[in-house]
Amino acid sequence: MNLLVTGGCGFIGSNFIRQRLTEKDSPLAKLVNLDALTYAGNPANLADLADDPRYVFAHGDIGDAALVARLLAEHQIDAVVNFAAESHVDRSIDSPEPFLQTNVIGTLRLLNGAKQHWTGLPASKKGAFRLLHVSTDEVYGSLAPGAPAFTEQHNFEPNSPYAASKAASDHLVRAYQHTYGLPTLTTNCSNNYGPYHFPEKLIPLMILNALEGKPLPVYGDGMQIRDWLYVEDHARAIWLVLQKGRIGETYNIGGLNEQPNLEIVKTICSLLDQKVPRADGTSYTSLITYVQDRPGHDRRYAIDCTKINQEFGWSPAESFASGIEKTVAWYLTHREWTADITSKKYARERLGTKT
């Protein structure tokens, strides 16, 4: 298989690429990573794989129709996995337009390129081609306490500009399958965590702030509930859907772990208390600081992943206890990576293009 991955230098995309290139007996002949290297796209996430002869990095935007068309044709792409997205809710509240540009217009142009490429494939390859679009549970809106978790049949009720842009992209993917017959798949995941997570997100932010003795900012009362999914479990699920998913279907991927944000922060503090105790003997929990809540903050997300479990036998391999311990340990042993991120050093360093 020749695989095109978009947004592969981001958090989830880089974990997916790493898993695909390091697995035993990988079926990949070539993996092309197209990434615009915006603020959260970090080539250091994959620096140790840059010399793999199967790996090709292309610096560019999914909205660049000519580039997308060239990569699809030149590398004889058999499947596309689209991770490319602006994904931070706070940033979307401050400035929605970049989210519409990447998540909606960018996805539209990627779909157009994939459709043209797929249409011209010989019959032997045309039937096997797939485009998998990676999305979020935030398209479904907010759940009331005690309400059933989101299934694939749940209505879209996005509540932030980010969620609205992802909902629009999901609808476009569905429309291209229904109207043109393009063989698409969509996955909607819950909150991911794990290695290479960009430091402005909740879990890495709390780890790094705690280590630096900075306040641990918690929105409102901290009782917003999220379902936390270890990123390697998510990557494994995406690969299963790409290989086995039914064309036109959506698959929800969740961690089966609902917890309030405040409990997540306290768990991180407890692990750090054990692993790197503070010099004055106080707990890291003393750094927790409550701040004004985010506008329109969704109260609860939860994913029902019965469908992917029944069809493919998938379920998360990591419990939250095991996953968060691995995550904290990773950040403790990769301080140079986080220092480069926080100093913005990575923005000045780009891998050479191999296309």
Active site (annotated) includes residue 138 = yes
The two structure tokens encoding residue 277: 């105790």
Active-site annotation holder among 35, 86, 140, 162: 162
pLDDT of 344 reads 61
CB 19 within 8 A of CB 236: yes
pLDDT value of position 63: 96
User: Of the listed 138, 232, 258, 304, which one is catalytic?
Assistant: 138
Take residue 86 and report the two structure tokens written for it. 């602006």
As a whole number of angstroms, the distance between CA 348 and CA 38 comes to 11
pLDDT at 88: 73
CATH number assigned to the domain with residue range 2-348, chosen from the 4 options 3.40.190.10, 3.50.50.60, 3.40.50.720, 3.40.50.360:
3.40.50.720
CA dihedral sign of residues 169, 175, 180, 184 = positive
Burial string for 328-340 (b: 16+ CB within 10 Å, else e) reads: bebbeeeeebbeb
Cβ atoms of 18 and 46 within 8 Å: the answer is yes
Give the per-residue pLDDT at 355.
33
Does 325 participate in catalysis according to the annotation? no
User: What pLDDT score was predicted for residue 46?
Assistant: 96
| 232 noted as active-site residue | no
Measured in Å, how far apart are the chain's first and last C-alpha atoms? 17
CA distance 105 to 165: 10
- pLDDT tens string for the chain (355 positions)? 999 999 999 999 999 999 999 998 889 999 999 999 987 889 999 999 999 999 999 999 999 999 999 999 999 999 999 999 987 777 888 888 989 999 999 999 999 999 999 999 999 899 999 999 999 999 999 999 999 999 999 999 999 999 999 999 999 999 999 999 999 999 999 999 999 998 888 999 999 999 999 999 999 999 999 999 999 999 999 999 999 999 999 999 999 999 999 999 999 999 999 999 999 999 999 999 999 998 878 899 999 999 999 999 999 999 999 999 999 999 999 999 988 877 765 444 444 333 3
Which pLDDT score is estimated for 54?
97
**Among the options 137, 227, 232, 318, which is catalytic?**
137
For position 119, what pLDDT does the model report?
A: 98
Q: Where does 200-259 have alpha helices with state H?
A: 202-211, 231-244
Return the CA Rg of the chain: 20
For residues 55 and 3, the answer to whether their CB atoms sit within 8 Å is no
In this prediction, residue 345 carries a pLDDT of: 52
